[in-house]
Amino acid sequence: MTVFCGIDRAEDHHDVALVDDAGQLLAKRRITDDAPGYQPLLDLLAEHGDTADEPIPVAIETGRGLLVAALNSGTRPIYAINPLAAARYRDRHSLSRKKSDPGNALVLANILRTDRHAHRRLPADSDLAHAITVLARAQQDAVWARQQLVNQVRSLLREYFPAALDAFPGRQHGLARPEARGVLTVAPTPARAAKLTMPQLRAALKRAGRTRSIDAEADRLRTVFRGGYARQQQAIEDAMGHQLLTLVRQLDAACPAAEDLTTAVEGHFRRHPDAEILLSFPGLGVQLAARALAEIGDDRTRFADARALKAYAGSAPITRASGKKRYVGRRFIKNDRLITAGFLWAFSALTVSSGAEAHYGRQRERGDWHARAQRLLFNRMIGQLYHCLQTRQLFDEQHAFTSSAADLAVAA
């Protein structure tokens, strides 16, 4: 008898339902979200035939958390069912569309019983790959949070302190640089910035870590701050200066956090066996390669072929046909983090790979816009990445773009 398990996850408790291959409810139980609650679940599975050789498959609406970690031992297949998909299945059992936790657990178990083949189980990635996923995603979130703060600072400075924008232009991270944050801390308003002396400016630059051309930079800043700019009323200017100091303090915390995570990602990524293959691809640095590995994983059986990986990444077009109508467009259901890294990867590859540049150029000549041509380049390169990871070989420019030998000769 085949047994299937469904778990409806909540914040402090979980509902469990077990059904057989005929859809008969075998057992149901509510467990707590802690170690004493996980053990009765494992005992319940063991009572119904769960062994290391023949584990009971489990369906749950999340792929993360301590409960999943407790279940993800050995070879037990775990299926993370999208809550929207579970809601559609629920309509088959209840016309009222009312949701209950025990009923939802039963629905999840029946999803495995009837349509297990249509859902993908959680990949069997290594612990190192899981660690890289955690760090790479955290680093990406930290970079986004830092940029959001920079945008807020820039928007505020436009309202009352345009001299600061001229003093710290956008090159080399602009307002996120230690020098910019250090100077804005001691001079958050145009009035205070205009009164800064050369010794004060030199001291601020030294505290920020600058070691070269301090006198020239201090003189440049003094000239900019004493230029003719429009000003707010003094009371409004002081209030905005106080707001700026608050944002700069947040930026002071966000910048080191992003740098610390960047270092951690690099340390973990370089220890992974796939690191050398990923770094052999043009346009892939350590951080981008780590983000790609974080989303792809190192379970080589996760994707049946390159087409499956391309669909997961959202780079392959999707075709919808009904009657006489046929539509080919981009995918909206995809891994957003992977496609974001893919666009950066494709853009970087244009400057270091003649084959990638030629492929992009052909798409543009056919009338594709930049975004589509870039996505199609990523689509081709992620297919090449799949092949290299499966065959354990490094990227080779000549073999990767053999269909464009003439273009490579021209570009060379």
pLDDT at 331 over 90: no
Q: How confident is the model at residue 403 (pLDDT cuts 50, 70, 90)?
A: low
* Predicted local distance difference test score (pLDDT) of residue 376: 93
Residue range 105-142, pLDDT digits in tens: 999 999 999 999 988 889 989 999 999 999 999 999 99
Residue range 253-277, pLDDT digits in tens: 999 999 999 999 999 999 999 999 9
Q: How confident is the model at residue 411 (pLDDT cuts 50, 70, 90)?
A: very low
Average pLDDT taken over every residue of the chain:
90
* Predicted local distance difference test score (pLDDT) of residue 407: 46
Of 406, 408, 395, 396, which is closest to residue 355 (Cα–Cα)?
A: 408
Of 123, 9, 108, 102, which is closest to residue 59 (Cα–Cα)?
A: 108
* Predicted local distance difference test score (pLDDT) of residue 323: 86
Q: Which residue has the higher pLDDT, 170 or 355?
A: 355
Q: What phi and psi values does residue 18 have, to the nearest 5 degrees?
A: -120, 130
Where would I find the H helices in 175-298? 178-186, 190-194, 198-207, 214-225, 234-269, 275-279, 286-296
Residue range 19-58, pLDDT digits in tens: 999 889 999 999 998 988 899 999 999 999 888 889 999 9
Residues ≥6 apart with Cβ < 8 Å to 299: 123, 124, 125, 129
- Whole-angstrom distance, CA of residue 406 vs CA of residue 397: 13
Q: How confident is the model at residue 405 (pLDDT cuts 50, 70, 90)?
A: very low
Question: In terms of residues, how long is the chain?
Answer: 412
Residue range 363-383, pLDDT digits in tens: 999 999 999 999 999 999 999
* Predicted local distance difference test score (pLDDT) of residue 171: 59
Residue range 224-257, pLDDT digits in tens: 999 989 899 999 999 999 999 999 999 999 999 9
Q: Rounded mean pLDDT of 70-79?
A: 86
Domains in the chain, ordered, with CATH? Answer: 3-122 (3.30.420.10), 131-267 (1.10.287), 276-411 (no CATH)
For the record, the structure tokens of 345 come out as 């990867």
pLDDT at 332 over 60: yes
Give the neighbor-by-neighbor strand order of the sheet with 3-9: 25-32, 13-20, 3-9, 58-60, 78-80
Neighbours of 222 (CB within 10 A): 18
Q: How confident is the model at residue 99 (pLDDT cuts 50, 70, 90)?
A: confident
pLDDT at 406 over 80: no
197 touches 167 (CB < 8 A): no
pLDDT at 408 over 50: no
Dihedral Cα 225, 231, 237, 243, nearest 10 deg: -70
* Predicted local distance difference test score (pLDDT) of residue 102: 87
User: For the purposes of burial, counting CB atoms within 10 Å of the CB of 122, is it exposed (0-12), middle (13-18) or buried (19 or more)?
Assistant: buried
pLDDT at 192 over 60: yes
pLDDT at 404 over 60: no
